[in-house]
Amino acid sequence: MLNNKVILITGGTGSLGKKLLQIIVNEYKPQKLIIFSRDELKQFEMSQKWGMKKYPFIRYFLGDVRDKDRLMRAFDGVDYVIHAAALKQVPAAEYNPTEFIKTNVLGAINVIEAAIYNNVKKVIALSTDKACNPINLYGASKLCSDKLFVAANVYSGVHKTRFSVVRYGNVLGSRGSVVPFFKERSKTGVLPITDADMTRFWITLDQAAHFVLMALAYCKGAEIFVPKIPSMKIIDLAKAIAPDCRQEVVGIRPGEKIHETLISREEARNSVEFKHCYLVLPSTTAEKKPKASRKGSGKPCVRGFEYTSANNTQWLSVEELCKMVEMVVDDYSIEKSRWSMEDVPQ
């Protein structure tokens, strides 16, 4: 569905934006692919690999999601928007809350209004496991963003713009990943472990990008797409990266959880399970009518269900983590996706 269409990626110079660009360039023939971000240096670096001379359909558009006027201009003639722009470092959010609100919350409002005004067909907003039952400012700002995008389907009116959300866990190979941090600290012979019991959801950059494109293809509006992904123990990841290093428990950082949650018990009442993913459906009265049509071949989650990194049925072993870490050579490595289009509602 991306052939001959205009696609815009906010935060397009980030890890996911680069991976999406690579996939779209290799697998589709878009009319135009717009990389929207605020960093001119990163745009210049991307253009050295994906220049407009070789790829005439690519555009690099400087701007900030905090600037609604700039978004209004950027979204003109756009068919699909993937909203990946965000501030996401948990400790930074605790000490700079207003900056995170400006980008993650007010920026979301600007994206919604610009999309509706310009008759964008679909918008996929990226979320995080930290938005589910949040305890930190970053998670709270993304929860607010999720609510805004779900509610936007109600007041898009005659414009028919559809908004959906993709929520997943830690991304292997993304900027800010613990992997390069552990690799660097391994040179000292000691790896700092925040908590010996800590677990996290784990997804590769390629899997995340393909899952976003799958959600873009099949979303009907107001769903939260949650992939089924494995968990890992932070101590196992440390063993995989530096088995000879001593591990030192240093305590969790401000705003961190021991375990993360992708679907809470409250959300599970409105969630549907498919082979490779869950859909969290809207519970508002205005959205109940299309709810049944989105169930497809899925089955409702059982009462009391909760999807956390601690109660997950899929776990990565030290050996599997070793293979995954070795597989990530750079931001542009390609791997086979595990997502099947047959397993989502159509």
Inside any domain, residue 319: no
299 catalytic per annotation: no
pLDDT at residue number 62: 98
Domain span holding position 58: 6-170+202-229+262-306
pLDDT at residue number 283: 79
Inside any domain, residue 124: yes
Residue 328: Cβ within 10 Å count:
18
Q: Which two tokens stand for residue 270?
A: 């409105």
For residues 83 and 96, the answer to whether their CB atoms sit within 8 Å is no
Cα dihedral sign, 97-98-99-102: positive
pLDDT at residue number 227: 97
**Phi, psi at 286, each rounded to 5°:** -65, -20
Inside any domain, residue 243: no
Give me the tens of pLDDT residue by residue for the chain, a chain 346 residues long. Answer: 899 999 999 999 999 999 999 999 999 999 999 999 999 999 999 999 999 999 999 999 999 999 999 999 999 999 999 999 999 998 899 999 999 999 999 999 999 999 999 999 999 999 999 999 999 999 999 999 999 999 999 988 888 999 999 999 988 867 667 888 888 888 899 999 999 999 999 999 999 999 999 999 999 999 999 999 999 999 999 999 898 899 999 988 888 899 999 999 999 999 999 999 999 998 764 455 444 446 567 899 999 999 999 999 999 999 999 888 877 654 444 444 444 545 554 4
Inside any domain, residue 144: yes
For residues 33 and 81, the answer to whether their CB atoms sit within 8 Å is no
pTM of the complete model beyond 0.75: yes
Inside any domain, residue 191: no
pLDDT per position as a tens digit, 150-195: 999 998 888 899 999 999 998 886 766 788 888 888 889 999 999 9
Inside any domain, residue 241: no
pLDDT at residue number 172: 82
Q: Which two tokens stand for residue 286?
A: 């205005």
Inside any domain, residue 151: yes
Set 18, 19, 122, 130: catalytic member: 130
pLDDT at residue number 44: 96
The three-class DSSP label of residue 333 is: coil
Inside any domain, residue 118: yes
How many separate domains does the chain show?
Answer: 1
Kindly report the CATH number assigned to the domain that includes residue 65: 3.40.50.720
Q: Which two tokens stand for residue 314?
A: 């899929």
